[in-house]
Structure 1
Amino acid sequence: MGDLDFTKVQFIDVDAERAGQRIDNFLIGLLKGVPKSMVYRLLRKGEVRVNKKRIKPEYKLQGNDVLRLPPIRVSEQSSEPYVNTDRANELEKFILFEDSHLIVLNKPSGIAVHGGSGLSYGVIEAFRAIRPESKFLELVHRLDRDTSGCLMIAKRRSALKSLHEQIRSKTVDKRYLALVAGTWPKSRRVVQAPLHKNTLRSGERVVRVSQDGKPSETRYSVMQRYQGATLVEALPITGRTHQIRVHCQYAGHCIAGDPKYGDKQFEEDVIANTGLKRLFLHAHQLSFDDPRTGERRTFDAAMDEQLQSALSRLIPVE
């Protein structure tokens, strides 16, 4: 698309990859440094036009549309986050798979998937910085900052649309490994508990089981028992914020290393001796239909050394 000159009227040809995207979302992504309120004002006043016609924010772009942009005053302070490129380049070694449409990453714990809430940048900003030639890079889904494992980044809008549809239709299979407190009973295969999300003044998100919440379901299976702990596999059927962590807490088996929903006694009695310094939640397996070929793909992400070391210091049972 090339560099934009905000000082004059510009015309942009919309390619087929953008087809189906809402005009407001397209402009917000295109006009870095322009407040969202200004984007909607430009649309409302008819200063942004498609094929010489006024359009509403919900208009969906079509291939070969011609978009007219008026001159726009942009803040002198760039909205582009500062990215430490040395650290960003380290993410390359965590790539499990990449083709022309998609990246599957084994995200390390401790890095957010995107900037915000006091963080200058996350995985997606890092990849945009180290892949400046890539015209399109978008997160397909999210992982908590402290959760490691399989994360998808779309390199084509068509791939993003395909994978979002698969997520909506629940044909994407995401499986997590979690080390939890106590003895998880084999008979407990499902936790169904509605979840309600609250955002505190600090911006921190806290999720609680509440009848006012959204229906939520996680399926569990026991992988290995240890003295004082159990390694379980969790399969979230719904995709609520902090779902697995809160459902484990609700079931009476908090996840190890969880600073928000954890069990202090479990940490002192069992986890303190393992050297674990992070949340023990890892997205270890991901299955979906390849958006390019249609074939079913499954990717496995190995646990990092800290998780493996923590397990090695526990005493297996059975």
Structure 2
Amino acid sequence: MDLRPSQQPPPHRTRRNRPGAGRVGRGNGHDLRGRQLQVDDGLGGPGREGGRLIDPLSVDWTNARRTTYLVEQTIRYEYPTPIRDLDHRLVVIPPERFGDQRRGEHRLEIEAGTARVEDRSDRFGNVVFEIFAPRVDCCVEFIATVEVERRAGEPHRLADGWLRDGYLLEPTRLTLPDPRIKSVARQLVSGTPWGLALAEKAMEWVYQSMTYQNGVTGVRTTASEALTIGRGVCQDYAHLMLALCRACGLPARYVSGHLVGEGGTHAWVEVVLPTRDGTGDAIAWTFDPTHASRGGLNYVTIAVGGDYSDVAPTSGTYVAPVRGRLSTRKRVSLTSLDYAG
């Protein structure tokens, strides 16, 4: 069971030249015999019930310097008959700190009968919850609530040793380049300096080569398959850009998160480049090939990895001769905003 929650709505930007548009440690276990597991780091809470939210369409994002969001996400599975031996994985709460992003109060509520919950950090630094339930009668529901703050002007700096893991440059099953992707990579490398300029070219090529469409790809669709189809969702755009960047020798990783407003989860890419200041550090630069955008404060990061399989918001297994029905709901509300000056 590895189902893709609904994706972010398609980009509204008009296309140019195209029509339309293994386990790493364990945390403490929690036994759940009621409804709720609450995780709270004590940094202050959302506290916005009844308060006035800010319309993101009214924001001058180029001059925004600090934003605070309330992220609310519900994932629900319904089963026609009881299931047993549920082993579920959730990646829906961001790390305490991610570049300029800070996590505030956060809460995860779980309705799954009698269940045990374990939380841990994976090799990418993501927060992972694992839920084990011997029996679920009819449904399981997860409700994640988290407050996030972002500040402009703070580059996402990675400490020396950032390339040692190897995943930033190694193709995965979902991002293995085919001959066409390799050919495009050779063309881009031959005519563009290595670095941000090359990453920009890769993003633009992906944007021009794909048309956003739901329902034509799935969680196992590879970058080359999506390119052959020429259509897909943000996951496919991100996989294709990852395949192209790595073929160009650009270290890059998959990012799962949200854009402010309603809609599903979103995916984009971070290209990781050395700082050249003698420290051995690197900077992770945001590229969103679905929108041909360099990102901004209206992006909220949840997790990073080599591809979607590392950061899937919801996945798992159970024993039963029936298939569950997945429904999701998400809202990212802008709760406070500061401008420069």
**TM-score class normalised by the smaller sequence:** under 0.3
More helix by share: 1
TM-score for both structures, normalised by structure 2: 0.25
TM-score for both structures, normalised by structure 1: 0.26
Q: Larger Rg: 1 or 2?
A: 1
More strand by share: 2
By relative contact order (CA 8 Å, sep 6+), the higher-ranking structure is 2
